[in-house]
Copies of this chain bind each other. A is one copy, B any other.
């Protein structure tokens, strides 16, 4: 599919670019849930209703200035592997992977703004930016949302706010989240206390791929639980304030690590780098673990010449569907591990750090 070639050739802008607090904050994301008045919510809608809604929203997106350069993807036309590819790119949800009929993805160039049509709600609008830029992500979402509202009649109640399929999203319909990388809090065993503190402040923590996923590569997502009874700014302030606090905790843990275990941490980072640039086979789980060490190493200044953006990209590129779509064919686990090792070696070698070292000829 042509769209995939585009996606492969231009990895997400929010992944490649470095935002504020890039060493610790991977990305900031704002997602708005919207529904169209007069239509049944997707979980209970008939196919003809889903079709009508999708047509209406696609028309609106077609008129919006924000989607002038964008791709429209009919989920039904995709293979399972192609859907997994979009999931790994954080463009769609598990629900879209499982069910494609009358479901569409609209994504702008660079994947900063995207729409899922007929997910749990008629419309899920996402804006995602690199680093800690929650307010900027919100402003972007808000502008696109207002623009789409010119052409769409949102289901809205003066008492309750935006109406949504699931009651937990009613009100602002907003989920604001930051993806943060906390290797030192994990290494110093402080992570549990910190996450407990986050949930006591009324926020939720999740793993790399959202709801129900465990932490992989020491990544954690902090997001709001409550959508009702609060203004958007209050939610955003809360998520940003707590994220900043966790970022400070991670920074302190890094200082502690450097002070008490400098040699050990240098050793771990060095070995991770050595394995990643010389392994012949590597699983995604091991790659995530080792890339996490490298990302920490860049943050600590041990790996000059390597950029956080390259690492962020690798965290996505090593996933099974990315590898297979890039190779243009389905691969067995062995071939995936082999291709993953090649991709990592290549990416970590394109920008070689100061000193140079030999490597296997294989």
Contacts and interface: CB of A to CB of B under 8 A. Distances in A.
Interface of A: 263-264, 266-267, 269-271, 273-281, 297, 302-306, 334, 338, 341, 345, 348-349, 351-362
A353 B304 CA distance: 23
A357 B355 contact: no
A35 B263 CA distance: 52
A359 to B, nearest CB: 4
Contacts of A334: 263
Contact of A297 (B264, B303, B349, B360): B360
Nearest to A355: B359
Given A305-B358, A358-B353, A263 B277 contact: no
Contact of A356 (B275, B305, B352, B354): B352
Given A263-B334, A266-B360, A275 B271 contact: yes
Contacts of A281: 263-264, 267
Contacts of A276: 274
B357 A352 contact: yes
Given A275-B275, A276-B274, A338-B263, A355 B361 contact: yes
Nearest to A302: B362
A267 B341 CA distance: 10
Nearest to A305: B358
A-B complex: 3 closest residue pairs judged by Cβ atoms? A274-B274, A274-B278, A352-B358
Contacts of A355: 358-361
Contacts of A273: 274, 278, 358-360
Contacts of A267: 279-281, 341
A269 B360 contact: yes
A356 B267 CA distance: 21
Contacts of A360: 266, 269-270, 273, 297, 302-303, 353, 355
A345 B359 CA distance: 12
Nearest to A354: B361
A356 B278 CA distance: 11
B356 A356 contact: yes
Contacts of A345: 357
28 contacts: A263-B281, A263-B334, A264-B281, A266-B280, A267-B280, A267-B281, A269-B362, A270-B278, A270-B280, A274-B275, A274-B276, A274-B278, A275-B275, A277-B357, A277-B358, A302-B360, A305-B358, A305-B361, A345-B357, A352-B357, A352-B358, A353-B359, A353-B360, A354-B361, A355-B359, A355-B360, A355-B361, A357-B357
Contacts of A305: 358, 361
Nearest to A294: B360
Contacts of A279: 267, 270-271, 274
Contacts of A297: 360
